[in-house]
Structure 1
Amino acid sequence: MGWSFKAHGGIALALSAWVLLSVVLAWLPEGSPSAGMTWLVTLGVLFLVGVAAWVRVLLCKADKKMLWLAFRCLPGRLRAVLGVLAVTGVLLTLIGASQEDDLQTDGVEDGRYYVYDTTPLHRGRAEVSRSTYEEVLRREQRSMLPVFGAAFAVIACLVFSAGEVRQADSRSKSAHAKAT
């Protein structure tokens, strides 16, 4: 596998671990060091890394079966790490989705913290304390970001598998050239 595939897959793998770690840290009472990270920024990075991965998969002209066989050729530890990250992302998503909350962050204006209350009888914008706002932000982070962590893990799987397919193709071409 070429160095660019390793770098691209490594970036996706590191982003997956970083997002899932920030979600786990959001469960702590002290909060997460990246509590200010929004899902929109994560979605933008996911889009860029994901599009690049999709282009790589298209360029290697591999179908699902070939990618699966290439994934099985990856080192066992790497497959285990990718699997753990993907499963952790899915589990944290399910746990976060099971916790219902009627408050959503709405923003900070002039040092005042606002949330949007979605309860049926109290629908609307409300001003809250900073600690309440930070707690709502952590809850949102726990429910939204694991999806992105799992997606980054899947992207890393695709990139590493495409790298294996590309490497196998280059070996095949060089063996064919030697034979002729």
Structure 2
Amino acid sequence: MGWTFKLHGGVAAGLGATLLLLATLTWLPGALPFTGARWLAAAIFVSLFLTFASALVRLIMRSADKHAIWMAFRCLPGKVQMALGALALWGVVLLVFSTATEGNLQSAEVRDGRYVAFDTTPHARDTVEISQSRYQDVLESDQRTMLAIPGVLFLGAAYAVLAAGELRRADGAVVPSGVT
């Protein structure tokens, strides 16, 4: 596997792990310092788009089926497989627990000195007033989701690019049938 595949996969896995760590930190008391930062969401989106799109292009260029991609991933060193698997499991568990505990409120904000959030309860969708502590809980839940979903997608990009690198290495090792 070429060094560009390793670098691309490492950056994607590192960004995914960082986002999952930040999402996990939202369960600690107090708010994270960048709760209202709009630039963070834009930076995550742009880097995720570039990383994920280029990983998919690399994988598509190999034109392999799902089984070949899985077998290429299985050819990676065991520590890499274990690290990506553990991070992906961490991300899925984080999303499941976040979804189970968040309730029906989202998009908390302050309007005219009052704390409000959008209630997504079926047949009662409306903006409702909430307490300050519930406001903080909804903010943390929104932030957890905003960090965990891109984190898992970054790990998917790492999987794709590392599997594509293994496929490329395997394709280069195949001797054409007419050569002795």
Smaller-chain TM-score bracket: 0.7 to 0.9
Aligned to 2:32: 32
Deviation at 1:167, TM superposition (A): 1.1
Q: Assess, with a 3 A threshold, how the Cα gap between structure 1 residues 151 and 122 changes in structure 2: closer, same or farther.
A: closer
**TM-score normalised according to structure 1 size:** 0.80
1:40-65 C-alpha deviation (Å, 9 max, x unpaired): 43344322211111100011122111
Q: Assess, with a 3 A threshold, how the Cα gap between structure 1 residues 82 and 93 changes in structure 2: closer, same or farther.
A: same
Aligned to 1:11: 11
Q: What runs of 5+ residues in structure 1 fail to find an aligned partner?
A: none
Aligned to 1:124: 127
Deviation at 1:122, TM superposition (A): 9.2
Q: Assess, with a 3 A threshold, how the Cα gap between structure 1 residues 32 and 176 changes in structure 2: closer, same or farther.
A: same
SS in 1 for 2:117: strand
Distance in 2 separating the partners of 1:176 and 1:76: 30
Aligned to 1:95: 97
Deviation at 1:107, TM superposition (A): 4.9
CA contact (8 A) 2:108 2:135 kept: no
CA contact (8 A) 1:16 1:150 kept: yes
Structure-to-structure mapping, 1:29-178, within 5 angstroms: 29-36=29-36, 40-41=41-42, 42-105=44-107, 107=109, 115-118=116-119, 123-124=126-127, 133-172=135-174, 175-176=175-176
Sequence identity (%):
40
Deviation at 1:102, TM superposition (A): 4.2
1:71-129 C-alpha deviation (Å, 9 max, x unpaired): 0110100100100111111111110111143443355689x685434276793265975
Task: Supply the AA of the counterpart residue of 1:91.
Answer: V
Q: What runs of 5+ residues in structure 2 fail to find an aligned partner?
A: none
**TM-score normalised according to structure 2 size:** 0.80
CA contact (8 A) 2:108 2:139 kept: no
RMSD: 3.2
CA contact (8 A) 1:113 1:133 kept: no
